[in-house]
Amino acid sequence: MATFSEAKLAEASPKLLFRQLFEKESSTYTYLLADVGHPDKPALLVDPVDSTVERDLKLVKELGLKVTYALNTHCHADHVTGTGLIKGKVPGVKSVISKASTAKADLHVEAGDKIFFGNLFLEVRATPGHTVGCVTYVTGDGPDQPQPRMAFTGDTLLIRGCGRTDFQGGSSQLLYKSVHSQIFTLPKDTFIYPAHDYKGFTVSTVGEETQFNPRLTKDEFAWTLFITDLNLPYPKKMDIAVPANLVCGLQDLVNNV
């Protein structure tokens, strides 16, 4: 006979709680997702920043959620990830990043992998180009999963923009291919949630970006000319951020061991 909690779990229908959080210094978005239809309210954080971990975990506590995973879309160059700090503060949280990133984490993911939180999940799409290990996390496809779908594109696709391709194994050819084959092929109503915004946008859709993204609507020749002539200064924190993010944001602890 099923116990009360097993029966409750079997009955539980997935229900997404979603919050978009912003870190001003690096213009980074962190996303909080939880299955609040599940008795444990399991949650995950995508691209947390070290300086806003306290804020994010306070919100998690207020909402009665249980964080199980802290994910990165890639090894960031402009800010230090909060995943290591979160692991230290919330026992049991597993850090997640792509295998191709070569960064330290509890879980290394590849294309097609699914990360479950309750009865909801994010699916991994490999979207290299901004860095060699960039991935896009897409909400699940299926009758119980939230619709329209949501794509957490990291720095691969920004709203009306995209990530630079001039460091960390970046490749303009790969970024173009990743966006066109892995993101623009999603249903048109799929929401685009990027890791940064420098222009005041919060959300877009696949349909909007396929029409209005000034970079990725170019043909491949015009795109290559454009992106190779971008000439952006390197991120100010790059020399601190990249080595720290290769060890889950815990460079100081690792160096002091």
Ligand X SMILES: N[C@@H](CCC(=O)N[C@@H](CSS)C(=O)NCC(=O)O)C(=O)O
Please report, as ranges, the residues that interact with ligand X according to CB under 6 A: 26, 76-78, 155, 161, 163-164, 196, 198, 232, 235-237
Q: Which of 16-24, 49-57, 151-159, 179-187 is the region at the interface with Fe ion (rule: CB under 5 A)?
A: 151-159
Q: How far is it, in rounded angstroms, from Cα 219 to Cα 215? A: 9
Which of ligand X, Fe ion, none interacts with 128 (beta carbon under 5 to 8 A by kind)?
none
Q: Residues binding Fe ion: what is the number (CB under 5 A)?
A: 1
Residue 104 binds: one of Fe ion, ligand X, none (C-beta under 5 to 8 A by kind): none
Give 7's contacts (C-beta < 8 A, 6+ positions apart).
none
Q: Considering beta carbons, is residue 124 or 134 the nearer one to Fe ion?
A: 134
164: nearest Cα among 193, 134, 209: 134
H helix count then E strand count, the chain: 8, 14
Determine, following the binding rule CB under 5 A, whether residue 197 of this chain makes contact with Fe ion: no
Closest CB to Fe ion among residues 37, 169 = 169
- Our CB check for ligand X shows the closer of 134 and 150 to be 134
Of residues 113 and 155, the one with the C-beta less far from Fe ion:
155
Q: Which stretch binds Fe ion (CB under 5 A): 79-87, 152-160, 183-191, 204-212?
A: 152-160
Binding partner of residue 4 among ligand X, Fe ion, none, CB cut-off 5 to 8 Å per kind: none
Minimum distance between the CB of residue 91 and Fe ion, rounded to whole angstroms? 29
Strand, helix or coil for residue 59: helix
* Amino acid at the residue 66: K
183 CB-near residues (< 8 Å, 6+ apart): 125, 127, 136, 151, 153, 156, 157, 192, 206, 209
E strand map for 52-194: 66-71, 94-98, 107-109, 114-117, 120-126, 135-139, 150-154, 157-158, 161-162, 191-194
Binding partner of residue 93 among Fe ion, ligand X, none, CB under 5 to 8 Å per kind? none
155 touching Fe ion, by CB under 5 A: yes
Report which of 47, 117, 136, 56 is spatially closest to residue 83, judged by C-alpha positions: 47
The item of ligand X, Fe ion, none sharing an interface with residue 197, based on CB under 5 to 8 Å by kind, is none
Q: CB 133 → ligand X: shortest distance, Å?
A: 13
What is d(CA 107, CA 58) in angstroms, rounded to the nearest whole number?
Answer: 25
Looking at beta carbons only, is 74 or 125 nearer to ligand X?
74
From ligand X, Fe ion, none, interface partner of 47 (C-beta below 5 to 8 A by class):
none
For residues 34 and 43, is the Cβ–Cβ distance under 8 A?
A: yes
Least Cβ distance, residue 238 to ligand X (angstroms):
8
Pairing label, strands 135-139, 42-46: unpaired
Residues that bind Fe ion (CB under 5 A): 155
